[in-house]
Amino acid sequence: MTLYVFDKDTNNTSHCTGTCAKAWPPLLESAAPTAGKGIKSSLLKTAPRGDGKKQVTYNGHPLYRFDEDQKPGDTEGQAVDAFGAKWYVISTEGKKITTEPTGNTDGGY
């Protein structure tokens, strides 16, 4: 599934809790995360959340899914302004992708 970053977050610190975390579930991992194909393992870490759980980070960005994404490749959360800041897909290089959606109703660009 697509992973997102939140502009309100600061280095390795999530600012998405409560209702925000229901709409944008944090990617949690109790053990050290394992890098998949195309992911730089040196950028992949975890950081503690306020509830003590470990959230996966990539290049210092806490990672989230979006509850409206239904299948792999969906990007319904791209450039959404919610909970006080914008949300963006994260690239394999660990940077947010700021391309705005074209307005297609299917979430395409």
Question: What is the reported pTM?
Answer: 0.89
Query: Has residue 102 been placed in a domain?
Result: no
Q: Which domain holds residue 77?
A: 4-97
What percentage of the chain reaches a pLDDT higher than 90?
83
In a domain, 103, yes or no: no
> Please, how many CA atoms are within 13 Å of residue 14, restricted to the half-sphere of its CB?
28
In a domain, 21, yes or no: yes
Concatenate the DSSP letters of all residues of 31-72 into one string. Answer: S-----TT--GGGEEEEE-TTSPEEEEETTEE-B--TT--ST
Residue 37, domain member (yes or no): yes
Residues of the chain with pLDDT > 70: what percent?
Answer: 92
The pLDDT value given to residue 31: 87
In this predicted model, what pLDDT tens digit does every residue of 58-108 receive, in sequence order?
A: 999 999 999 999 999 999 999 999 999 999 999 999 999 998 776 544 444
- Please indicate, yes or no, if residue 107 is contained in any of the structural domains: no
